[in-house]
Structure 1
């Protein structure tokens, strides 16, 4: 053994063997630990000391809530990105909501002088009295001093605002709906912009206002037939911007009943959609012609109609109901905005013009009525077929109940004979049908 150890440590045969003693392993037997001095031990606090774990991360000996001793700011990068995203979304929502509110108020403010001049009541004032008539002792007409423009508009939500006006001859009420872009939702807004850019079938998101007038249509006349009567004939007529003419014809049933023509005295970007030339000549009056000249960027359509927007599916939906609608794209330039009040004024006074002049010859009304009667006949035919099918189902149900009642009152042998007769009868009917087909 001594020779093996000697060879292991490089000794030769002539060298004396090297024997290891216990003193050679003294350093490995007991680790050397320095005993800290009392001064050093007292300077280290067990609460505030921070050691390092084998992974290199700081380990706190402090209380459980001392997060600052266990983590650094760089450990919260992901949370920081999430917080920035939330701040962006919330900030954009607040900005978009305020921006939409400002756009709606600006539009209503631009047409409020016209509305207060034409209507006795504008907006949503809780006081049940006229709020646009000057009740001064001098008797001068004008906007009342207590009229509040802020009450002329109401916010349904961040994308829709409405206004209301009433108290005028020939008009029951006028309702305005302002629909705005999704500025309060940046993800949806950007998505709409991208889809409209790449797909022709998706219209560009815009800010628009739809103003609808419901005329009295004779309901303001006295029960005895005396006094003023605001009734005028049924027809469909429209001024449509050629930019979206196809879209409105496809989306609106009432416009599908008309023919489209260019009209003398109107700009080239406008088309007239009417059921008769005589109707078009009567409805289009000078004030309206002058008002639409500078409205190419804002006017979408102006429609006088008695038919529904959606194709009627039931006979009750074919009952005429007159409406006069104006759809505008909210202006982006001062020039377009300046043209809107005159257009609104002409739009309102169009009702007075219709009450005076829209009473056509019987030949014209016969042509208009024939188109509506054809649609009514189609719906009547569908309704009759549905009623016949319903009667047949009821008759079949009655026969089925009668057959089940018979079978319940029969014995087993009689039931077998009855069922055999039914099969023979069905077989004869099937054979006759095959002979007819041949």
Structure 2
């Protein structure tokens, strides 16, 4: 088949536009257009899958939220926020005892196939990189007045497979001990500050709902401490929350099970925690001691850091002062510092003697 390369410039000039187009090799353009079309189709399919996962959860939980909260939605006219094709959030507020309900749906990068595959490859070869996963994270915060009506404590139910990574990634879980129980399916363990807390809080219905969600529930926690390790004293202030994490699904049975669990927590369990969350004085003292130890550790760390900063500032000021002196004055100051150092050494030797 002939191409433009087979003709001279004069012959090409004499050709019509159609003749030139018919002889032009369109392989690169066709490949580029095909690649773009494939990318667009995969983007739409990935985005649709993510939207379906988010919609299933949001649609199932909204009726419960509307029954319990005055305002449901990120604004009066917007039910949920979609940051991009991977991240959705739902907010509700205006319920007795609870300050807010916040759900975040974080999904895999299905809309970007190449980035998605790269994430999997990175996770396979680099141990510190997590494997991409779909996650529903729910945070229910108690208001300040209600928080004062029950004790500070940490109590969680987590999957055995991930308990070590959760302890590593969550500050509040690092303060707990692990214990197994016949109250839970074999896939789960308690992570709490005392086994007695489980005896007080676990109900038959709660255990049944855990069992129904054994394929989707990642963890459930009640905590007065944060997920991130505190770096300021103010961050140690108790802030009581209920935290949940699920794997989203489009399966109707699993979606209903997640909805039933969250609905039970919002309708009943959140209030039951307030009513039952006051423990024996011995247990309360033990929990308080843990927080005092964390307070002292952080205070020591911050004090050491402050001393290092002051020493560094003092050294810089001394250096600037020396640079402003004449050579003779610098020599005199150096001799003075050496004499001072020798006197200190002599005094130490006298003390040892």
For Structure 1 versus Structure 2, the TM-score category normalised by the shorter chain is: 0.7 to 0.9
Change (3 A) 1:435 1:177: same
With the length of structure 1 as denominator, give the TM-score of the two structures: 0.70
Aligned residues: 348
**RMSD of aligned residue pairs (Cα, Å):** 3.3
The answer to whether structure 1 residue 105 and structure 2 residue 55 are counterparts is yes
Structure number with the higher helix fraction is: 2
The answer to whether structure 1 residue 79 and structure 2 residue 29 are counterparts is yes
Change (3 A) 1:420 1:279: closer
The answer to whether structure 1 residue 57 and structure 2 residue 4 are counterparts is no
Change (3 A) 1:254 1:424: closer
The answer to whether structure 1 residue 335 and structure 2 residue 253 are counterparts is yes
Shift of 1:434: 12
Change (3 A) 1:362 1:66: farther
Contact 1:217 1:231 in 2 (8 A): no
> Deviations 1:288-336 (Å, cap 9, x if unpaired)?
2221111111100001111121222232221111111110001253332
Structure 2 distance, partners of 1:111, 1:280, is 27
| Aligned counterpart, 1:136 | none
Shifted more, 229-238 versus 373-382: the winner is 229-238
Change (3 A) 1:95 1:353: same
Structure 2 distance, partners of 1:420, 1:390, is 24
Q: Secondary structure at the match of 2:26?
A: helix
Aligned counterpart in structure 1 of residue 220 of structure 2, from 302, 327, 342: 302
| Aligned counterpart, 1:232 | 150
The structure, 1 or 2, with the larger RCO (C-alpha pairs under 8 Å, 6+ apart) is 2
The answer to whether structure 1 residue 362 and structure 2 residue 281 are counterparts is yes
With the length of structure 2 as denominator, give the TM-score of the two structures: 0.85
The answer to whether structure 1 residue 241 and structure 2 residue 159 are counterparts is yes
Q: Secondary structure at the match of 2:136?
A: strand
> Deviations 1:168-195 (Å, cap 9, x if unpaired)?
1111110110011111101011223344
Could you list the runs of 5+ residues in structure 2 that have no partner in the other structure? none
| Aligned counterpart, 2:197 | 279
Change (3 A) 1:429 1:306: same
| Aligned counterpart, 1:18 | none
Q: Secondary structure at the match of 2:150?
A: coil
Structure 2 distance, partners of 1:294, 1:180, is 23
Aligned counterpart in structure 2 of residue 165 of structure 1, from 88, 92, 108: 92
> 1:386-425 maps to which residues of 2 (within 5 A)?
386-396=305-315, 407=325, 415=329, 418=332, 421-422=335-336, 425=339
Contact 1:235 1:305 in 2 (8 A): yes
Change (3 A) 1:85 1:346: same
> Deviations 1:324-361 (Å, cap 9, x if unpaired)?
11100012533322211210112223220111110112
Structure 2 distance, partners of 1:369, 1:260, is 19
The answer to whether structure 1 residue 122 and structure 2 residue 49 are counterparts is no
